[in-house]
A and B are shown apart, each in its own frame.
Chain A
Amino acid sequence: MAAELPFTVEPGAQVSVRRRPHTSARRVLADSFRYFGLRHQLRRPLMFTVLVLLLFVCVVTVYPRAFPDIAATYHSGYYVAIAIILFLTVWFANLSDAIAEAQGRAQAESLRSIRSGIRARRILPDGQVRWVPSDVLHVGDTVEVRPGEPVPLDGDVIHGAALIDESMMTGESEAVTRESGGDKTSVLGGTRVLQGTVQVRVSAARGESFLDRLIRLVEGLGREPTPSEIALSVLLAAFTITLFIVCLSFVYLADFSGIVTIDLATLIALFVCLMPTTIGALLPAIGISGVNRVARANIIAKSGKAVEASGDLDVLILDKTGTITVGSRLAVQFVTAPGVDAGALLEAALLSSTLDETPEGRSIVRLAARRNATARRLEPGSYKVMPFTPERRMSGLQLQDGTEVYKGALRAMEAYGATMPEPIRRSAADAARQGMTPLAISRNRQVLGLVVLKDVVKPGIRDRIRELRTMGIRTIMCTGDNRLTAAAIAQESGVDEFVAEAKPETKLELIQREKTSGRLVAMTGDGTNDAPALARADVGLAMNSGTSAAKEAGNMVDLDNDPTKLIEVVSIGKQLLITRGALTTFSITNDVAKYFVIIPAIFATAGASRLPGVAALNLLGFGNPLLAVLAALVFNALIIPILIPLALAGVPFRPRSAIDLLRRNILTYGLGGLVSAFAGIWLCYVFLGFLLGVPFFHVAGVFVAHWLPLGGR
């Protein structure tokens, strides 16, 4: 009999629906104002402080007579300007949150729209079929899905096989096969059956499915700050408290020592400028967008913490099959043992694989069929399937007449009691050396020959593994193949280490070993066997096509079933941390420039000519102290929206060594922060001066005169 899939794949059946996130400008704007509310502000103490100061400035502006102390320096226009800029500072911060959340929401919306109004054909326990809305389905219910119909909820195929279009969920245009038994039973709610009819047992109730989790995640519900985000917030808070003490003592010291009287609004401007408002404003957006980027890569991360942890990984345990190699090994060649009829080998190969549902088994059947092999018809009950077990490491059939047909690894075959002819052993070794997998085929303990399966290394995998090494991440390839096969693939792909002849518990042992020596380990997996290891790994990326147990155990699920995504996840995690660190550094070096503007401006109001030592700090040579303070404050506010795209997209990241990254980021964001602040404040000053009717040439002239002794000083 010729093995056949229960349906044929037609190219025309492939459907591609790419969801496209779009943000509604009006909603973003509304949110940005709604976030002025206390509930939102209290979650971000840094911006809340600015808001309180804004209210204070407003009160003083409206009712200056209540504050007789500031009467000497009060200037209504100046106070109004300060209030406006403080308002903008908080608003820009709100805006960054609103945009980041809108991006996530847009993704959630397009996901939700997939599922509206799905009805399902429920199979009652007595076998009756009834149409019900998907809302009323419970975990454990069975539904039947026919070609053209959507799968109502997440579940496992318990009967039949189907070709399913998952493009609306995963963006992957190629349809996937789902069938009962084995590791490819899982179907997602919202996907559409193209061919074949399947019975599906519902595994997740409405609201609990992976789709729901994704929607919740990208909407930011239940998102809590990650450990390094909290630590950074603590550092920023401590810095802010210190600056508060510095500024407060400064005003009293200046006043009471009689050196200079500092205006209240100027003091607030100084404090706000020095506060790390840039990073403080963008910190939540960075976190949200990190999760969004993961979601955009079609990965459901169950926590933001897992995304962050993926930046720290030291070791990736990669399955050979599917990750490093294209996927299933395919039969490419039969080798007949000396003195054995070729037809006998083919027949045995067919018999041993006819009921083998694995891709390898099917490929053997297909190859045998192509060689015109014929098999006798098997009556139901006349045989016993001996499935592959990790212990036996062989699979085959036991017929009623006592015939045993097996295929399996050479060593397993020998353990089973078959003697291996020398030429077969040689051919097997040759094949294995080329990275191929030889399986011996036996009938009644007599080895008839080999079937050779070939594994193809994915294009580009070598480069990605090299990139990982640059980032300091070690890769371990894990495979059930024999040492020779594994070594050949390992060499071809460039992994650092490999484990051959792995049993299901090998991954768990590997993870334990790496973890006890303190390393952070990630792995991918899809089988139920993988679940304990997925749960134990620091980052466990489960394949969406895998079993529910695997998906429950992992802390991320890849909807595209592409194990190489693990490498992308590492980059996203690193980028998340780098963006935080870079913007913190940027904030700090910005402060240096702001100091050199505001401190001399403060003293200038008291007559800078009397204090040349302080006047020398006026590096930009600003002649109008009030304008200089406003310019610094405007720059401080404007830099927030300017950096929103960077916060949302993450800083550009390419795999490099740690010290190289440090050098580059210090130069880019440290030095860049210093230079851009000086340049930015100068531009703001010129522009404000222009607005206030001061001729541009005058302002530029003051600047030039400061540096060139043209007699202007």
Chain B
Amino acid sequence: MGFDIRSLWDIFALVGIVVALAPWFGRYLGRVYMDRPLAGDSLLLPLESAIYRLLGTSPRQSMRAREYMLALLGVNLGLIAFLFLFLLWQAALPGDPTGAPGLRWDLALHSAVSFTTNTNFTHFTNESQLSFASLTTAWPVAFFVSPATGLAVAAAMVRGFVRRDGTLGNFYVDMVRSLTRVLLPLAVLFALILVLLGVPQTFTAFVTAHPITGGTQTIYLGTVASFQSASLLGSNGGGYYAANMASPFANPSAVSDLFGTFVMMLIPFSTPFAFSTIVRRKGEAWPYLATVLIVFAVAVGVFIAYQAAANPLVSGIAAIGSQSNGYPVGQEVRFGLSDASLFQVASVYCNVGANNMQIGALSPIGQLDLLFGMFTQATPGGVGTGFGMLLLFGVLAIFVGGLMVGRTPEYLGKKIGTSHVRWAALAILVHPAIILVPTAVAFLGGFVSLAGLSPGASAHAFTSVLYEFTSEAANNGSALSAGQVNDTTPFFNLAGAAVMFLGRYVPIWAMLMIAELFAKEEALPPGPGTLKTTTVTYTLYLTLFLVIITALIFLPVMALGPLAQIVGGH
């Protein structure tokens, strides 16, 4: 597989389509949370009202941050409990053709937290360890609840900028509307398209094939199309197959690969426009979209450049001959480097975590590239929460930038004070803590042994552990899985569950608290002395702020991991 420069056009075309659709779709997304007339109201409003009555709530019942958080935790903890018990006792449920036994308790807990927190980091192999019901029923429930939670948080946070009564909206209403207006209809639509593209959708768990080479082969089938559609749409990332999007059943062609990429990018790239719709300031979306696009474009470019370059370790060996691709191992070679790379980078940067490559076999810079996306978790990050993180970076950037223009910093007319800074800093700084501390504990406590490994291999194993906790902290789900590290032990299950839980709910808590602070403030009218955020200068400043702060925090571990892996050339 050689690298054809023309294949970059696929990338430009796809990103172009996403960016072209983003304002339009974002506006729709914003209106979902604005109590405005929407297409489909006649059908869905009665249904939603019925659900609200069933839940005993009403759209008029607007919540403060604390209530919102408690409602959110209630739903999410309920889901964790449900998934935990389901996975623990999956063998006891009737009518399962796979005969998979129940998961060990620590693994069940890790998986339950993983699915609920939008992480979908798996410590099991779907085919052999999950029952048909777990795979087609329990897991997909989380596929909808977790991104709906993310969208609800984003909606509540953004409302803080336009409210004055200190309330953020009704969590249950936001959840329900996320499901009925966004996630469910889109998942159905995209599933149908995937079926058209050749992805299986059946209630048959598996078929047994008799290949001409003799013997028998079990081919797992099921509701693959709907599963993958919901997984990619909601930045979940769980694969129906363990090989995820590298499996030809989940991802049969280059078209399905590009379509999958589109599905992953749609909501995260549109959220800035939902924000600008809700705050009623059209231009405010662009600095965020531009920041995301700049970081994303550099990430894709660097990724492809290093994957396409010759691997210096191999190119020196005469017997192998000339090389057209330095890092072909573990790559999905059917789609060509550009399309496969775009999928992989989009998947990690959108906090989906679905793979179509073996990340452990990537070039070190490629690994670093993906790690960086999870360090920021805001370019664009997962559904809802990714934009929330970006807004928090924005608040801090505006704070420092506002000082530099000689005014007490304010954003959208709301002053940024000590409490705002405290919460924003907490959300951004909890991230390195829950990555670095468990990684250090893993080595200190002897849960990973690197005895007898060469420096390069040590660095690789180190990267694997770092990547795992980073992925869990960012609620990403992508895994590097170096062979030297066994991450299916109780330590990795329990530590991972804790990291995912904190990585999800601490930033959400901070986002809601900061939103309430904004929601209590009177909005000041914009004056000519206000720092204009809809400018190129501000956009570049935000981008640099985000990149520099992230790099400052993570450079030491990047040096220990990916950079130390480089043993020759790049």
Q: Which residues of A are in contact with B by a Cβ distance under 8 Å?
A: 227-228, 230-232, 234-235, 238-239, 241-243, 245-250, 252-254, 256-260, 274, 308-309, 311-312, 314, 469, 471-474, 517-519, 573-578, 580-582, 584-585, 588-589, 591-592, 595, 599, 603, 610-614, 616-617, 653, 657-659, 661-663, 665-666, 669-670
Query: B548-560, CB under 8 A of A: which get 1 and which 0?
Result: 1101111111011
* Cβ–Cβ contact B443 & A250, under 8 A: no
Query: B432-446, CB under 8 A of A: which get 1 and which 0?
Result: 110011011001100
Q: Which residue of B lies closest to A237 (CB)?
A: B425
Q: Can you list 19 contacts pairing A with B, beta carbon distance less than 8 Å?
A: A235-B425, A242-B429, A249-B440, A258-B458, A259-B458, A309-B408, A312-B408, A518-B413, A519-B524, A575-B406, A577-B402, A578-B405, A578-B406, A603-B564, A614-B559, A653-B406, A659-B531, A659-B532, A659-B535
Task: Find chain B residues with CB under 8 A from A665 CB.
Answer: 404-405
Q: How far is the CB of B514 from chain A (nearest CB, A)?
A: 13
Q: Which residue of B lies closest to A257 (CB)?
A: B462
Task: Find chain B residues with CB under 8 A from A314 CB.
Answer: 524, 527, 529
Q: Which of B407, B416, B563, B564 has the most CB of A within 10 A?
A: B407
Complex CA–CA separation, A472 to B444 (angstroms)? 56
| B:463-487 near A, CB below 8 Å | none
Q: Which residue of B lies closest to A603 (CB)?
A: B559
Q: Which residue of B lies closest to A472 (CB)?
A: B529
Chain B interface secondary structure, helix, strand, loop or mixed? helix
* Cβ–Cβ contact A584 & B556, under 8 A: no
Q: Pick the contact of B403 from A232, A247, A659 — CB < 8 Å?
A: A232
* Cβ–Cβ contact A613 & B566, under 8 A: yes
Q: Which residues of B are in contact with A by a Cβ distance under 8 Å?
A: 364, 396, 399-409, 413, 416-418, 420-422, 425-426, 429, 432-433, 436-437, 439-440, 443-444, 450, 453, 455, 458-459, 461-462, 522-525, 527-532, 535, 537-538, 541, 544, 548-549, 551-557, 559-560, 562-570
Task: Find chain B residues with CB under 8 A from A253 CB.
Answer: 436, 439-440, 443, 462, 557, 560
* Cβ–Cβ contact B537 & A254, under 8 A: no
Q: How far is the CB of A708 from chain B (nearest CB, A)?
A: 20
A234/B421 contact (C-beta < 8 A), A517-B525, A653-B406 known: yes
Complex CA–CA separation, A439 to B544 (angstroms)? 63
Chain A interface secondary structure, helix, strand, loop or mixed? helix
* Cβ–Cβ contact A580 & B403, under 8 A: yes
Complex CA–CA separation, A234 to B399 (angstroms)? 12
* Cβ–Cβ contact A658 & B529, under 8 A: yes
Complex CA–CA separation, A584 to B531 (angstroms)? 18
Q: How far is the CB of B240 from chain A (nearest CB, A)?
A: 35
Complex CA–CA separation, A245 to B432 (angstroms)? 8
Contacts A235-B396, A471-B406, A577-B402 aside, 11 further interface pairs with beta carbons under 8 A come to A257-B450, A260-B560, A311-B406, A312-B407, A469-B528, A472-B528, A519-B527, A580-B403, A610-B567, A617-B563, A653-B406
Q: Pick the contact of B406 from A258, A574, A617 — CB < 8 Å?
A: A574
Task: Find chain B residues with CB under 8 A from A312 CB.
Answer: 407-408
* Cβ–Cβ contact A252 & B440, under 8 A: yes
* Cβ–Cβ contact B443 & A252, under 8 A: yes
Q: How far is the CB of B497 from chain A (nearest CB, A)?
A: 20
* Cβ–Cβ contact A257 & B461, under 8 A: yes
Complex CA–CA separation, A663 to B559 (angstroms)? 32
Q: How far is the CB of A596 from chain B (nearest CB, A)?
A: 9
* Cβ–Cβ contact A472 & B404, under 8 A: no
Complex CA–CA separation, A257 to B441 (angstroms)? 11
* Cβ–Cβ contact A231 & B416, under 8 A: yes
Complex CA–CA separation, A228 to B405 (angstroms)? 13
Q: Pick the contact of A238 from B364, B429, B525, B531 — CB < 8 Å?
A: B429
Q: Pick the contact of B444 from A239, A252, A473, A657 — CB < 8 Å?
A: A252
Q: Which of A242, A252, A658 has the most CB of B within 10 A?
A: A658
Task: Find chain B residues with CB under 8 A from A259 CB.
Answer: 455, 458-459, 462, 560, 564
Task: Find chain A residues with CB under 8 A from B524 CB.
Answer: 314, 518-519
* Cβ–Cβ contact A238 & B407, under 8 A: no
Q: Pick the contact of A246 from B420, B436, B459, B548 — CB < 8 Å?
A: B436
Task: Find chain B residues with CB under 8 A from A585 CB.
Answer: 400, 404
Q: How far is the CB of A261 from chain B (nearest CB, A)?
A: 12
Complex CA–CA separation, A256 to B569 (angstroms)? 26
A662/B537 contact (C-beta < 8 A), A573-B406, A581-B403 known: yes
For the complex of A and B, list the 8 residue pairs with the smallest distance between their C-beta atoms, beginning with the closest. Answer: A472-B529, A613-B566, A581-B403, A574-B406, A238-B425, A581-B404, A472-B528, A256-B443
Complex CA–CA separation, A595 to B544 (angstroms)? 17
* Cβ–Cβ contact A577 & B403, under 8 A: yes
Q: Which residue of B lies closest to A665 (CB)?
A: B404
Task: Find chain B residues with CB under 8 A from A595 CB.
Answer: 552, 555
A257/B443 contact (C-beta < 8 A), A592-B552, A659-B531, A659-B537 known: yes
Q: Pick the contact of A663 from B417, B433, B537 — CB < 8 Å?
A: B537
Complex CA–CA separation, A611 to B570 (angstroms)? 11
Complex CA–CA separation, A138 to B420 (angstroms)? 47
Task: Find chain A residues with CB under 8 A from B396 CB.
Answer: 235
Complex CA–CA separation, A260 to B564 (angstroms)? 10
Task: Find chain A residues with CB under 8 A from B532 CB.
Answer: 658-659
* Cβ–Cβ contact A250 & B556, under 8 A: yes
Task: Find chain A residues with CB under 8 A from B555 CB.
Answer: 595, 599
Q: Pick the contact of A311 from B408, B418, B568, B569 — CB < 8 Å?
A: B408
Complex CA–CA separation, A32 to B493 (angstroms)? 53
A662/B541 contact (C-beta < 8 A), A257-B560, A585-B404, A613-B564 known: yes
* Cβ–Cβ contact B421 & A658, under 8 A: no
Complex CA–CA separation, A287 to B529 (angstroms)? 22
Q: How far is the CB of A203 from chain B (nearest CB, A)?
A: 34
Complex CA–CA separation, A56 to B444 (angstroms)? 23
* Cβ–Cβ contact B530 & A472, under 8 A: yes
Q: Pick the contact of B418 from A234, A573, A584, A613 — CB < 8 Å?
A: A234
Q: Which residue of A lies closest to B403 (CB)?
A: A581
Complex CA–CA separation, A256 to B462 (angstroms)? 10
Task: Find chain B residues with CB under 8 A from A243 CB.
Answer: 552-553
* Cβ–Cβ contact A612 & B566, under 8 A: yes
Complex CA–CA separation, A228 to B417 (angstroms)? 7
Q: How far is the CB of B245 from chain A (nearest CB, A)?
A: 29
Q: How far is the CB of A361 from chain B (nearest CB, A)?
A: 41
Complex CA–CA separation, A617 to B407 (angstroms)? 37
Task: Find chain B residues with CB under 8 A from A231 CB.
Answer: 399, 416-418, 420-421
Task: Find chain A residues with CB under 8 A from B528 CB.
Answer: 469, 472, 657-658
* Cβ–Cβ contact B560 & A577, under 8 A: no
Task: Find chain B residues with CB under 8 A from A653 CB.
Answer: 406
Complex CA–CA separation, A246 to B375 (angstroms)? 13
* Cβ–Cβ contact A574 & B407, under 8 A: yes
Q: How far is the CB of A244 from chain B (nearest CB, A)?
A: 10
Complex CA–CA separation, A678 to B462 (angstroms)? 30
Task: Find chain A residues with CB under 8 A from B405 CB.
Answer: 578, 581, 658-659, 661-662, 665
Task: Find chain B residues with CB under 8 A from A599 CB.
Answer: 555-556, 559
A257/B418 contact (C-beta < 8 A), A472-B530, A612-B567 known: no
* Cβ–Cβ contact B560 & A592, under 8 A: no
Q: Pick the contact of B404 from A245, A589, A610, A661 — CB < 8 Å?
A: A661
Task: Find chain B residues with CB under 8 A from A247 CB.
Answer: 556
Q: How far is the CB of B4 from chain A (nearest CB, A)?
A: 28
* Cβ–Cβ contact B407 & A311, under 8 A: yes
Q: Which residue of A lies closest to B551 (CB)?
A: A592
Task: Find chain A residues with CB under 8 A from B552 CB.
Answer: 243, 274, 588, 591-592, 595
Q: Pick the contact of A613 from B421, B437, B553, B565 — CB < 8 Å?
A: B565
Q: Which of B396, B404, B440 has the most CB of A within 10 A?
A: B404
Q: How far is the CB of B469 from chain A (nearest CB, A)?
A: 11
Task: Find chain B residues with CB under 8 A from A257 CB.
Answer: 443, 450, 458-459, 461-462, 560
Task: Find chain B residues with CB under 8 A from A260 CB.
Answer: 560
* Cβ–Cβ contact B425 & A578, under 8 A: no
Q: How far is the CB of B408 from chain A (nearest CB, A)?
A: 5
Q: Pick the contact of B402 from A239, A274, A581 — CB < 8 Å?
A: A581
Task: Find chain B residues with CB under 8 A from A471 CB.
Answer: 406, 529
